[in-house]
Amino acid sequence: MTLDRAIALFILLLCLLYGYSAWFIMDAQIAPFMARNPVWPSSFPKILAIGGVFFALLVLIAPHRPQQDPDLELSRLLEYNYGQALGLLALMTAYALLLLPLGFLISTFLFLMLGSLILGERRWIAMILASGIASLGIWYLVQEVLGIFLRPLPAALAG
């Protein structure tokens, strides 16, 4: 079994477990007043589980095409970009810790900017525009469309 199929099998099992918990565990604990709502708290996990199962099966069922380069070569294990992976993990941790003190807009903007820098992007105007538009767009959708309060600015500026 190739590496991509092994990962797809793992993701398939994970999505099946996630879907089971969304359909049977989360739905069993729903409050009676929410039972008639069209969207439940388990709706998004159900969509994620279905999508994950679909794409994992797609990878598992698709015909295997041999490649010139193997997916993972143990002799070249030290040549992979561990710095980028560890940098992104540290950045995600910092984002989670700074979300409340800095507010959503600033922390998300910095996360997207620094994340693109870690991944090698060097077009500053594109990074600033993409990070700004994404931060403002996500905040607007969550705050105004969904009606979920999301502190946009640092707590110190709120009073």
One-letter-per-residue 3-state SS of the chain: CCHHHHHHHHHHHHHHHHHHHHHHHHHHCCCHHHCCCCCCCCHHHHHHHHHHHHHHHHHHHCCCCCCCCCCCCHHHHHHCCHHHHHHHHHHHHHHHHHHHHHCHHHHHHHHHHHHHHHCCCCCHHHHHHHHHHHHHHHHHHHHHHCCCCCCCCCHHHHC
Residues 92 and 60 in one domain: no
Q: Is residue 75 included in any domain, yes or no? A: no
Residues 31-42 pLDDT 10s: 777 777 777 777
Residues 37-92 pLDDT 10s: 777 777 888 899 999 999 999 988 988 766 655 566 667 777 778 888 899 999 99
- Domain count for the chain: 2
Residues 146 and 111 in one domain: yes
Q: Is residue 27 included in any domain, yes or no? A: yes
Residues 114 and 56 in one domain: no
Residues 66 and 87 in one domain: no
Residues 109-151 pLDDT 10s: 999 999 999 998 899 999 999 999 999 999 999 888 888 888 8
- pLDDT above 80: residue 7: yes
Residues 55 and 106 in one domain: no
- pLDDT above 90: residue 96: yes
The residue among 41, 70, 99 that closes a domain is: 70
Give residue 57's domain range: 3-70
